C-alpha cells in the first residue's frame, strides 16, 4: 500500500470513527504511519483529503445509478440492479459511506469545502428519465421514492451494522418493485 493509500484509508477510518472535525492532521499522519510532510505532499489540507473522499463516494453513487441509463432494462429491472449495486458497495465501504452520510448533513462544512451537490440533477434526474422512458406516470415522485427507500436502507445499515438485516431488507425492496412501479 502506498503512502497515499494509507492516508486515504486512515482518513476514512478516522473520519468515520472520530468525526471529521475531531481528526487532526497530526493524528492522520500518525495513524497512516507517514510523516506530516508526506501527508501534505499528497493532500494540501484535511479539507483536501475529505474532498478526495467525497469524490470517491460520489463516483460510487453514480455507479449505482448506471442501470437507469441502460435502455435495455425496464425501470423495475434498473431499480433492482440499483439495489444490488448498493448492496455490493455498502459492506465493503461502510466507513466511507458513514463519513459521506455524516458530511452531507453538515451544510456549513459543505459550503466551506465549496461543495454544491445538485441532488436533483445528479441523482433524481437519471432515475426519473428512465421512469419516463418506461412509460410510468409521476416519474419525479417515483424517483424520490426510490431514493428514499435506498437511502433509508443505507442509513439504517450505517447506524446499526451489526443488527440491521441488510440482505433481507434489500431483497424485500426488490420483491416490491412491481408494487412500487404499479402505483
The residues spanned by each domain of the chain are 1-43, 53-182
Report which of 161, 141, 169, 157 is spatially closest to residue 83, judged by C-alpha positions.
169
Q: Which pLDDT tens digit goes with each residue over 83-111?
A: 999 999 999 999 999 999 988 888 888 88
**Per-residue pLDDT averaged across 114-118, rounded?**
80
Report which of 143, 93, 150, 98 is spatially closest to residue 122, judged by C-alpha positions.
143
For residues 4, 161, 170, 83, the Cα torsion angle rounded to the nearest 10 degrees is: -20
Give the per-residue pLDDT at 38: 92
**Per-residue pLDDT averaged across 128-153, rounded?**
95
Please tell me the distance from the alpha carbon of residue 20 to that of residue 14, in angstroms, as a whole number. 7
Model's pTM, two decimal places? 0.89
**Annotation: CATH topology of 1-43:** Arc Repressor Mutant, subunit A (1.10.10)
pLDDT of residue 34 exceeding 80: yes
Amino acid at each position: 500500500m502506498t503512502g497515499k493509500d494509507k492516508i486515504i484509508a486512515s482518513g476514512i477510518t478516522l473520519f468515520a470513527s472520530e468525526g471529521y472535525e475531531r481528526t487532526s492532521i497530526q493524528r492522520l499522519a500518525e495513524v497512516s504511519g507517514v510523516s506530516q510532510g508526506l501527508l501534505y505532499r499528497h493532500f494540501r489540507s484535511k479539507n483536501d483529503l475529505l474532498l478526495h473522499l467525497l469524490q470517491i463516494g460520489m463516483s460510487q453513487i453514480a455507479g449505482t445509478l448506471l442501470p437507469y441509463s441502460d435502455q435495455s432494462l425496464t425501470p423495475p429491472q434498473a431499480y433492482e440492479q440499483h439495489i444490488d449495486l448498493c448492496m455490493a458497495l455498502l459492506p465493503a465501504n461502510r466507513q466511507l459511506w458513514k463519513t459521506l452520510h455524516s458530511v452531507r448533513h453538515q451544510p456549513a462544512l459543505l459550503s466551506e469545502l465549496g461543495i454544491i451537490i445538485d441532488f436533483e440533477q445528479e441523482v433524481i434526474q437519471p432515475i426519473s428519465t428512465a421512469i419516463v422512458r418506461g412509460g410510468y406516470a409521476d416519474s419525479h415522485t417515483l424517483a424520490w421514492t426510490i431514493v428514499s427507500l435506498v437511502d433509508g436502507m443505507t442509513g439504517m445499515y450505517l447506524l446499526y451494522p451489526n443488527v440491521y438485516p441488510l440482505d433481507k431488507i434489500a431483497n424485500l425492496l426488490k420483491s416490491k418493485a412491481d408494487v412500487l412501479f404499479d402505483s
